[in-house]
Amino acid sequence: MKGPRHRLRRPGVWVGVASVLLLAGCYGNSTQKVTTTVPRTEPEAPPDPVGEAEVPRDACRQPRDPGRVSLHRLNRAEYDNTVRDLLGDTKRPARDFPADDISSAGFDNDADVLSMSPLLLEKSSAAATQVLEDAWRKGTLRSCRLDVEDPMPCARELLSRFARRAWRRPVMDSELERLLSLVTLSRQQGDGSEPGMKLALRAVLLSPHFLYRVELDPAPASPAPHRLTDLELAARLAYFLWSSTPDEPLQTLAEAGELHEPMVLEEQVRRMLADPKAQALVENFAGQWLYLRAVDAAAPDPALFPAFDESLRRAMRQETELFFREFLTSDRPLRNMLDADFTYVNDRLAAHYGLPLPGSDTPRRVSLEGHPERMGLFAHGSLLTVTSLPTRTSPVKRGVWVLEQLLCSAPPAPPPNVEGLPPPVDPSASLRQRMEQHRSDPVCAGCHHLMDPIGFGLENFDAIGRWRRTEEGSGAPVDASGTLPGGTAFEGVTGLRPLLKEDARLGECITHQLLTYALGRGLTEADTCAVADITRQAEARGGRWQDLIIAITGSEPFTHRRGEPEEDTP
C-alpha cells in the first residue's frame, strides 16, 4: 500500500482529498473560522455541517465496489474463543499474547493492523502445545484408538476431522498426507505414533490456515467483485457474531453450498444470536463501541469519590452489558437505547443512582418509570465514568464520545499544545466558566461549539455517574443547559436525549460502527452507498439490532470481495 488509505470517518459524503486543512477546521455556525492553512500529507476532513450531504442517488446505482478485507489474523479474543470451541479449552491462552493493535476505526479486529510477529508466533506455538496436551489428556481429541501396529487409519480420521474444523474447510488429500508424515516421523524415531500425532495437531494450529481467516480471490489482482464461497461466508458470520469459529451446523450448511441463500442465512443469524456465544458481540463490539472495556481501567480519585469501588465498577459494567444484550435480541428499536425506560441494577448501583433497591446483589431488570433522568444510555455509570477525568467530569470527553461513537462526526484533534485545561485563574470558578475559554479563543471555538454543549447537557451526572445539582469543587450550581450548533437550545439530559435520538446521523453512524466491526476493516468512500442501503433496510424491518445485523450479513460488502490491483512500483 503506498499512500495512506482514506477512511470514511462518518456517514454522508466524503469531502474528497483536500491538500490543505483548516486548522481546527470545524464548520457549523462558528463565525470565527480560522483561515490558517497547513500543508498536510494526510487529510483530516472536518465533520459535516449538521444535517448536510445526502449521497447522490446516481452514485449508488453504479456497480459497487465491495471492498476487500486483508488476510485476517485471529485477534486474542478470537483465538481464545476458537480454541474453546474446538477443544473445550477455556483457559484463554491468548491473554499472554502481545496486545492487538486497535485501528483508527476503534476496534481490535481490523485485519489491516492485526500483524504477526516472532513473539506472537512463538506464543501461539506454546499455546497450541498446551491446549493440545490438555485436550489429549482429557480425551477430547481421541475418538478412535491409535493402534500400535497400524495407527494410520485412526490418525487419518482424527487429523482430517480436526483440521477441517480448525481450518474452517475440508482438508485436501495432499495436506492430510503431509500431516500424516509427521506421525511417520515419530514412528521412525522409535517413539510410536502419539508424539507424531501431537506434532501434526500442533502443525494444524500453527498453520496460517488456522491463525488467519483465509479468503481467496479467483484472480488476486483483479478488482472485479465476486461472491465469497459459502465456507468463507460461514467464517465471516461466526467471527462477526461469536468472535469464534463456525460450529458444525454452520460448517455443514456451508459445505452443502446452501448458506448464501437469503432465507438460510437469516435463519442462521437468528440461531446464532440466540446462542450464548453471541455474548461476544457484547464483549467485543459493545465493549469497544461503548467504551465498556475502559471501565476496568477507570481510576476515579478515591479521595473525591470514595463511593467508587470494585463492586460498583463491576455493577456498572454489568448494567450496560445486560442492557445491550437485551436490545440485541429484543423487539425494541436500537434507537431506543438512548431513552429506554428500563435498566439493570443491583442494590449497590441502585443506591448509587438513587433508585429503589431491587433487593439483590446480582443485577435485576428494573423499570425507570418516575426517573426520567436515568432513562437511556447517557445515564449509565459506566459511560459517564470512562468519559470523565479522575478528579472531575469532562464535558469535552463526553461530547467527543457522542460525536465520535454515535454520530460519527469526530472533530479533529486539537491544535498543538492546547491540550488540557488552561491554568485555573479562579479556583472558585465553575467548570462551565473555565470552559468559556474554548469560546473566547477562535482556535478552539470552531470545534468546541460542537463538543461542549453535548457534554454540558450531561453535567448533572458527576464523574462516577451520580446525580448532582452542584459541582463538587466550586460548589457552583450545575448548569446543564446548552445550545446545539443548529441553534436548538435544550435543558439537561432529558432535553438533550430526544435531540440526539432524532439526529439524522445516528442511524447511519451505528451502521457504520457495526459494519466496520462485522467486516474487520475500516470503511472507505466506496462503502458509503452500502451504509445508506443497510440503514434503510434495517429501518424498514423495524430498526432493531437484529434487523441491522441481518441487513449487514446480506449486504454486498459482507458477501462479496475483490482482488487487489498490483501496483507498478515495488
Partner 1 sequence: MSHTALSRRTLLRGTGTLMALPLLEAMLPRTVRAQTAAVPRRLAVFYVPCGIHMAKWTPSASGRGWALTPTLQPLAPVKDDVLVLTGLSHWPGRPELNGHHAAGTAAFLTCARARKTAGTDIYVGISMDQVIANHLQGATRFPSLELGNDAGTGVRACDSSYSCAYSYNIAWAGPSTPRPKETRPRAVFNRLFAGFDPGESQAELEKRRAYERSVLDFVREDARALQGRLGATDRRKVDEYLTSVRELERRVDALEPDGPMCQPGEAPVNTDDVRAKTRAMMDLIVLAFQCDLTRVVTFMLGNARSDRVYDFLGLSDTHHTYSHHQRVQSNYDALAKIDRWEVEQYAYLLHRLKAVRETDGSTLLDSAFVYFGSEVEDGNSHGHSNMPVVVAGRGGGALTPGRHVRYSGEPLANLFISLMQGMGVNRSSFGEDGTGPLRGLKE
Q: How far is the CB of 570 from partner 1 (least distance, A)?
A: 10
Among 99, 306, 475, 568, binds partner 1 (CB under 8 A): 99
Give the nearer residue to partner 1 in terms of CB position, either 247 or 301: 301
Interacting positions 462-491 with partner 1 (CB under 8 A): none
Stretch that binds partner 1, among 140-148, 199-207, 482-490, 536-544 (CB under 8 A): 199-207
Interacting positions 207-246 with partner 1 (CB under 8 A): 207-209, 211-212, 214, 216-217, 220-221
Pairing of strands 37-39, 481-483: unpaired
Closest by CA position to 238, among listed 86, 102, 82? 82
At a CB cut-off of 8 Å and minimum separation 6, what does 309 contact?
Answer: none
DSSP symbols for 293-323: GGGGG----TTT-TT--HHHHHHHHHHHHHH
Interface with partner 1, residue 70, by CB under 8 A? yes
Q: How far is the CB of 253 from partner 1 (least distance, A)?
A: 25
Interface with partner 1, residue 119, by CB under 8 A? yes
Q: How far is the CB of 116 from partner 1 (least distance, A)?
A: 4
Closest by CA position to 549, among listed 271, 245, 322, 291? 271
Q: How far apart are the first and last CA of the chain?
A: 10
Give the nearer residue to partner 1 in terms of CB position, either 473 or 543: 473
Interface with partner 1, residue 59, by CB under 8 A? no
Among 91, 178, 227, 541, binds partner 1 (CB under 8 A): 178
Q: How far is the CB of 38 from partner 1 (least distance, A)?
A: 7
Interacting positions 516-555 with partner 1 (CB under 8 A): 522
At a CB cut-off of 8 Å and minimum separation 6, what does 251 contact?
Answer: 164, 165, 168, 231, 234
Q: What are the CA-CA distances from residue 447 to residues 12, 324, 453, 502 (Å)?
A: 19, 30, 11, 22
DSSP symbols for 62-124: SPP----PPPEE--HHHHHHHHHHHH---S-GGGGSPPPPPPTTS-TT-TTT----HHHHHHH
Burial of 276 from C-beta contacts in 10 A (0-12 / 13-18 / 19+) = exposed
Q: How far is the CB of 167 from partner 1 (least distance, A)?
A: 10
At a CB cut-off of 8 Å and minimum separation 6, what does 566 contact?
Answer: 221
Task: Report the length, in residues, of the chain.
Answer: 570
Q: How far is the CB of 353 from partner 1 (least distance, A)?
A: 24
Stretch that binds partner 1, among 98-106, 470-478, 491-499, 532-540 (CB under 8 A): 98-106
Stretch that binds partner 1, among 154-162, 181-189, 265-273, 537-545 (CB under 8 A): 181-189
HSE-CB of 483 using CA atoms within 13 angstroms: 7
Interacting positions 250-279 with partner 1 (CB under 8 A): none
Give the nearer residue to partner 1 in terms of CB position, either 183 or 551: 183
Q: How far is the CB of 196 from partner 1 (least distance, A)?
A: 8
One-letter identity of residue 210 = F
Give the nearer residue to partner 1 in terms of CB position, either 116 or 144: 116
Interacting positions 127-146 with partner 1 (CB under 8 A): none
Give the nearer residue to partner 1 in terms of CB position, either 158 or 182: 182
Interacting positions 291-350 with partner 1 (CB under 8 A): 291, 293-294, 296-297, 299, 301-304
Q: How far is the CB of 292 from partner 1 (least distance, A)?
A: 8
- Residues β-bridged to residue 560: 227
CA angle at residue 245 from 264 to 176, to 5 degrees? 105
Stretch that binds partner 1, among 81-89, 194-202, 327-335, 358-366 (CB under 8 A): 194-202
CA 95 to chain centre: 19
Q: How far is the CB of 21 from partner 1 (least distance, A)?
A: 9
Give the nearer residue to partner 1 in terms of CB position, either 76 or 544: 76
Q: How far is the CB of 498 from partner 1 (least distance, A)?
A: 27
Closest by CA position to 517, among listed 178, 202, 284? 284
Among 15, 121, 144, 489, binds partner 1 (CB under 8 A): 121
Interface with partner 1, residue 15, by CB under 8 A? no
All three cell numbers of 11 = 456517514
Q: How far is the CB of 274 from partner 1 (least distance, A)?
A: 28
Interacting positions 422-461 with partner 1 (CB under 8 A): 422-424
Return d(Cα 177, Cα 484) in angstroms, integer.
67
Interacting positions 381-420 with partner 1 (CB under 8 A): 386, 389-391, 404, 413-417, 419-420
Among 81, 82, 103, 268, binds partner 1 (CB under 8 A): 103
Return d(Cα 101, Cα 297) in angstroms, integer.
18
Interface with partner 1, residue 186, by CB under 8 A? yes
**CA dihedral over 87, 90, 95, 99, signed as positive or negative:** positive
Give the nearer residue to partner 1 in terms of CB position, either 200 or 532: 200
All three cell numbers of 39 = 500543508
Q: How far is the CB of 191 from partner 1 (least distance, A)?
A: 8
Return d(Cα 410, Cα 106) in angstroms, integer.
12
Return d(Cα 267, Cα 273) in angstroms, integer.
10
Number of residues binding to partner 1, judged by CB under 8 A: 95
